[in-house]
Homo-oligomer: A and B are copies of this chain.
Amino acid sequence: MSHSKSYTLAEIAEKLGVKVHGNPDHEIQGIAALNEAALHQISFLDNPKYQPQLLNTKAGAVILAEKYLPDCPNNALISEHPYVTYAKAAQLFWHKPEPYTGIHPSAIIDETAFIGKDVSIGPFAVIGRRTKILDGAIIGAHCVVSDDCEIGAETELMPRVTLYHEVSVGAQCVIHSGVVLGSDGFGFAPGKDGYEKIPQLGGVKIGDNVEIGANTTIDRGALNDTVIAKGVKLDNQIQIGHNVKIGENTVIAGCTGIAGSTEIGSNCMIGGGSCINGHIKITDQVMLLGMTGVINSINTSGVYGSATPLLPRTEWQKVAVRIRQLNDLAKTVQTLKKDQTNTD
């Protein structure tokens, strides 16, 4: 969709704090991928995988590291951190969708709720008792913010987000559609006639600058709160159990599940589809490759993985049989080794 912002390369370079190589007066009206950009658009190269696309790009300018300059067929913006520079360039051309401004008359706001200045509340939103919506916050259509919650300043809830009671979200967060915060933790004690429900008395506390992806769920604590520290970024469809604690600036990719009472440090990067056991600790700066299963605590920073490699079906089926027999295979090898040693 075309939107009407326009800058010269010199203007863009100044806003982004980088240098122009080529024509500083070239006019840029948008941003696009290397293989789709036209002369009036800027593009970027970060992942070396896309270097071949650089040679043939039609982009009017490309944000790139100096070493790629010889391969660039047109103007360039030279950056030591092309991905960060691209992020800023994209903000320049972002035509942010207009929210519903003001309080929509169909919203139902309890009379004991506190609504700050410049708050927007969309159609059919429901705001509970004693809940505080701080200045500049945006509550999307169909959101349900239950009793005794707090939404920080300039935080945006996209349409159709649920907060149970006693959930607090910091400032400048983005919570995407379908997110559920503060649902009951999965706590049941085996009784004589089936399971006995354990009331979940804690809440959820989310720091500033957190982003939470679509349909992600975060359970309330059993006794203490579930805590997501500031700067954490959660992708879509992540499940976070009760009493989990996640440290600052940790980033978690989609479809990951974290069982109850586990603590994850700061500046971690968790790959998509990972499963993390309950009641364990993962230290700071741990990176998990995609689809990693974590059973025990990880006490040393570093990169970890556990996902098995893919093979054509018939080959994999043979491998799978061998995996089942692996303990026997290892014992056979031990015996062979001993026998050979004896033979020598």
Contacts and interface: CB of A to CB of B under 8 A. Distances in A.
Given A87-B198, A241-B254, A275-B255, A233 B186 contact: yes
A151 to B, nearest CB: 16
A337 interface: yes
A188 B320 CA distance: 30
A11 interface: no
A294 interface: yes
B275 A178 contact: no
A157 interface: no
Given A183-B236, A254-B257, A303-B312, A162 B164 contact: no
Interface stretch (A21-29, A68-76, A210-218): A210-218
Interface string A73-112: 0000000010110111011011111100000101010000
Contacts of A219: 214, 236
Contact of A309 (B142, B324, B344): B324
A87 B166 CA distance: 21
Contacts of A58: none
Interface string A229-269: 01101011101010100001101011101010000000000
B306 A327 contact: no
Interface in A279-337: 279, 289-295, 298, 302-313, 315-327, 329-330, 332-333, 336-337
A164 B160 contact: no
B177 A162 contact: yes
A306 B311 contact: yes
B201 A93 contact: yes
B158 A195 contact: no
A255 B254 contact: no
Given A1-B166, A47-B279, A162-B159, A199 B106 contact: no
Contacts of A140: 144
A275 B275 contact: no
A209 interface: yes
Given A91-B197, A162-B178, A302-B312, 4 more contacts: A309-B323, A319-B323, A322-B327, A336-B336
Identify the 7 closest CB pairs spanning chains A and B, nearest first. Answer: A273-B275, A94-B199, A194-B231, A255-B257, A183-B214, A87-B189, A303-B313
